[in-house]
Amino acid sequence: MSRLSAPPGTTVLALASLLRTSGALRHPLKARDAARRGLPGAIALAAARDPHRPALLRDGETITTAALDAEVRALAAGLTLPRRSRIGVRSDGGIGFVVTLAAVLASGADAVPLGPRLADADVAALALDDVLEPRREAGVAPRRAVAPGRLLLLTTGTTGSPLATARGPLGVRALAQLADADRRLALPTGPLLLLAPPDHGHGLSAVAGALVRGIPVVLASARTTAEQADLAALHRPATVSGVPAQLARLLDAGGLHGVRVVVSGSSPLTAALRARLTATGATVHDAFGATGVGTVAIDGLPLAGVRLRRTADGCLEVRSPLGRDAWVASGDRVEIAGGRLHPLGRWGDLVDSGGELVDPRRLQRLLATHPGVADARVVVVDDDLLGAVLHARVDADPAIETGLRAAINASLGRAEHPRRLEFGPVDQAPSCVAT
């Protein structure tokens, strides 16, 4: 069994770096509050550090750190949510989503970010106490003296259905894990163009980390590649962060000119794409992690407090402070060589499609049980950009296509939709991996 861990002294280095870059030395009480309260605390620390600095940019609007903190406090004051209730917050990728998510946490309720790609059936299965749309609130309100709620991120269970899960408590060792990621990435001064959605762990971590560092974030998810390239030309970002497919599209559109750092995550970064990104002159980082354990490695090197091991069958197991210091099987096939972790792909039935984990069996079951379908077959097809996509063939009258697509839209997330849906005898389709 191969193992990896961070060198001795990494935790001290990480925490020392955080003290220097976050303003904690000048605002120790706010820094302690940020460590205890998560996102709303990070916003408050950013406001105390530099109240007039731009925090978030979206759709032509720029909101400063002080204004963002004020909106969070004003909205939290008006929320009457039972403590520890589970509140879904729908994401539109904008400033209102960040405000609403932080306000729910500040009110003492648990917050579950809900991306626009989720199916209504999956949202209903989460059994949430309420679901809020993004909202804004003006006014002045004191900070609520209540314990913050937990951030519950969605992960894919063994059935492929989204599950809301909480990470471990943000103690000193967990803070060091986050701080070490920040130290390794060493984001330069200048805007961060965030392609990843802020409702995912990747995007949300980028927002929180940039706020603590005093870096403005251009929220660019749910925009076309051409629109993202226009945002890059307008704001001249120093850093771009996204999944490999987004980075490849932006590179092809000429949107990485002058970018100093590129951060890839949520999906394997191929050597070919890394070489193309590096050829632009940018420093390229590959972040590896999972929802339940956080980011655990940068460029194959484990973060502070993280231990990695490869089992005899090639599967990765992770132990991290953010993962409650328990060994967790990540579901990834890996190699450990040269002192670095090298992801090889997914293990088992789940496949990675553009940074989202997809279970082909969910589409298979839906198609096979739909009225009028005699048989169905789903295949996983390699895709140069997304890694993998689903194709499907059903033995049914093509006249049911409208109803069949409506059922897919209602029950499955967008990444689970078939890129190709054909009608005809299934024995003419390739062999199915999802039976």
Give, for 2, the enclosing helix (H) or strand (E). Answer: strand 2-5
DSSP state of 143: P
The SS3 of residue 10 is helix
CATH architecture type of domain 351-428:
2-Layer Sandwich (3.30)
Alpha-carbon span 209 to 110, nearest angstrom: 21
- How far is residue 43's CA from residue 55's CA, in Å, rounded to a whole number? 9
- For the whole model, what pTM was predicted? 0.86
- The token pair at 211 is 């706020």
Q: CB count, 10 Å around CB of 32?
A: 13
Structure-block tokens of residue 258 = 């002058």
- C-alpha of 415 from chain center: 15
Which CATH architecture fits 2-344?
3-Layer(aba) Sandwich (3.40)
d(CA 169, CA 225): 37
User: Rounded distance, CA 260 to CA 280, Å?
Assistant: 9
CB 74 within 8 A of CB 138: yes
Summarize pLDDT for 261-285 with one digit per residue, the tens: 999 998 889 999 999 999 999 999 9
94: DSSP letter = S
- CA 138 from centre of chain: 28
Match 């709620």 to its residue by tokens: 149
- Mean pLDDT in order along the chain per 10 residues (435 residues): 90 86 68 74 90 96 97 94 95 97 96 91 93 90 78 74 80 88 94 95 92 94 95 97 95 96 92 96 95 92 96 92 90 91 82 82 92 92 80 93 93 90 79 42
Positions of CATH 3.40.50.12780 in the chain: 2-344
Half-sphere exposure of 268 (CA within 13 A, CB side): 19
For 414, counting Cβ atoms within 10 Å of its Cβ (0-12 exposed, 13-18 middle, 19+ buried), the class is: middle
**Residue written as tokens 């980028």?**
206
User: Which stretch of DSSP H or E encloses residue 156?
Assistant: strand 152-156
- Tokens (6 digits) for 232: 């890059």
Tokens encoding 60: 């032509």
Residues of the chain with CATH 3.30.300.30: 351-428
**Rounded to whole angstroms, how far apart are CA atoms 43 and 95?**
13
Specify the length of the chain in residues: 435
* pLDDT given at position 87: 97
